[in-house]
Amino acid sequence: MNQPIPYGRQHITDEDIAAVADVLRGPFLTQGPHIGAFETAFADYIGCRYAVAVANGTAALHLCCMALGVTTGTRVITTPITFSASANCVRYCGGEVYFADIDPETALLAIDSVRELLSKHPKGYFSGIVPVDFAGYPVDMAAFRELADEHGLWLLEDSCHSPGGAFTDTNGTMHRCGDGSLAELAIFSFHPVKHIAAGEGGMITTNDEALYKHLLRLRTHGITNKPGELTEPYAGEPERGGWYMELQELGYNYRLTDMQAALGNSQLQRVDAMFSRRQEIAKRYDDAFANSAISIIVPPEGISHAYHLYVIQVDDRKGLYDFLRTRNIMAQVHYIPVHLMPYYRQFGWKPGDFPNAERYYARCLSLPMFPTLTDAEQEYVIASVKEFVGA
Ligand SMILES: *Cc1c(COP(=O)(O)O)cnc(C)c1O
């Protein structure tokens, strides 16, 4: 293969380009009609009541932590196997990040490890959990809901990897990731390697009207002009006119532009086809690596894995990574455990704290997984991996 094969890549069609060009010719570059249209279509797709478009997934996490009341000293639990933004959002608000280990069967935050951490502290010590649908494997949010309710915690689902993913609860009910039925809030990213590309972009989903209204204000500086939300006029205040608005709390400019929303919304129209293509690619990898020295995670019946990533685990991961680069295959590592990042080590986290996460990191490698990966490219990737491993 002459062209490098990345682990993830966006797919932009002529329709996508036309949608963005239309915005450029129109009157609104930023808060135009595409924002609301994208929010409505996305909420529809996910199956939740409300969606709030924001500048990126990290901004979405930050605003969620603000809306959930994270402040100095608030303690929040997340997984070490995630992109660091899942933890950083707590720090932006002055909160303290705690980690628990992963389940080696799924590479997701292990509920037993969270339960054990909770049991070591009095009730009220922790405020919330940020579970992550890592690689696209949906967290059993029903189990986390039950645990959270026992301990009075909120749940913020990082669904950046899992739009369209779903799990089946013990009653047989399917829940789409971020559908608002279990976690208070969920977030998505529209970075080009994710399922839907908007350049940069993010979305918050919820079924909670109060959180929704608060998030709308927070993404635009903390300003509102909605009649029902305004304070009473003070004595002697000049009469309020059409210009009137209030800065009610300290928010941010975390808005999405209309150009990005148009691109995201155009991509969303093809999301089902792109989702199925990811499933097909995963199935082909699954079949190729079954009964070999290559470890894979295959979800059981009832789990609809969204396959943002396709991760294999091998003993000589560094050797395989280097070998694949010589073949122009840009496999990647997801993730270096967050608790081992120098920034988090200063808080006392250290090697050995989470053995399952650390063992996973030592062996994991993400192979190319994106809807436009061709069958020939995938065959080449599979053959190269097998050649190195000797399978
Ligand atoms: C991509 C990603 C984010 C951050 O999203 P951005 O849009 O890049 O800010 C957060 N969490 C996870 C798990 C991600 O993969």
Domain ranges of the chain: 5-268, 271-389
**Burial readout 97-115 (b: 16 or more C-beta within 10 A, e: otherwise):** bbbbbbeeebbbbbbebbe
Question: Is the pLDDT confidence value at 2 over 90?
Answer: no
How do beta strands 202-206 and 185-189 pair? Answer: antiparallel
Catalytic residue status for 194 = yes
Is the beta carbon of 85 within 6 A of some atom in ligand 1?
yes
Quick: pLDDT tens for 158-174: 999 999 999 999 999 99
Mean pLDDT of 85-114: 98
For residue 47, the 8-state DSSP code is: T
Domain 5-268: give its CATH code.
3.40.640.10
Cα–Cα distance for residue pair 30/24, rounded to 1 Å: 10
Tell me the DSSP string of 260-325: HHHHHHHHHTTHHHHHHHHHHHHHHHHHHHTTSSSEE--PPTT-B---S-EEEE-S-HHHHHHHHH
Quick: pLDDT tens for 203-233: 999 999 999 999 999 999 999 999 999 999 9
How far, in Å, from the CA of 57 to the mean position of ligand 1?
5
62 closest CA partner among 184, 192, 202, 224: 202
Write down the mean pLDDT value for the chain: 97
Q: Is 31 exposed, middle or buried (0-12, 13-18, 19+ CB in 10 A)?
A: middle
Is the beta carbon of 131 within 6 A of some atom in ligand 1?
no
Question: Is the pLDDT confidence value at 72 over 90?
Answer: yes
Q: Which atom of ligand 1 is nearest the CA belonging to 134?
A: 13
Cα–Cα distance for residue pair 342/345, rounded to 1 Å: 5
Is the CATH code 3.90.1150.10 the one for domain 271-389?
A: yes
Is the beta carbon of 158 within 6 A of some atom in ligand 1?
yes
For residue 255, the 8-state DSSP code is: P
Q: Report percent pLDDT > 70 for the chain.
A: 100
Question: Is the pLDDT confidence value at 35 over 90?
Answer: yes
Q: Which of 120, 123, 194, 226 is catalytic?
A: 194
Cα–Cα distance for residue pair 390/324, rounded to 1 Å: 14
CA–CA distance from 6 to each of 13, 147, 280, 329, 379 (Å)? 19, 39, 18, 6, 15
State residue 322's pLDDT score.
98
Mean pLDDT of 356-373: 98
Quick: pLDDT tens for 284-329: 999 999 999 999 999 999 999 999 999 999 999 999 999 999 999 9
Is the beta carbon of 184 within 6 A of some atom in ligand 1?
no
Question: Is the pLDDT confidence value at 1 over 90?
Answer: no
Cα–Cα distance for residue pair 90/71, rounded to 1 Å: 8
* Spatial contact of 344 and 357, defined as CB atoms under 8 Å apart: no
Quick: pLDDT tens for 344-357: 999 999 999 999 99
211 closest CA partner among 202, 219, 201: 219
Give 43's pLDDT tier (boundaries 50, 70, 90). Answer: very high
* Spatial contact of 170 and 200, defined as CB atoms under 8 Å apart: no
Q: Which atom of ligand 1 is nearest the CA belonging to 59?
A: 9
Mean pLDDT of 186-215: 97
State residue 374's pLDDT score.
97
Quick: pLDDT tens for 243-275: 999 999 999 999 999 999 999 999 999 999 999
State residue 391's pLDDT score.
73
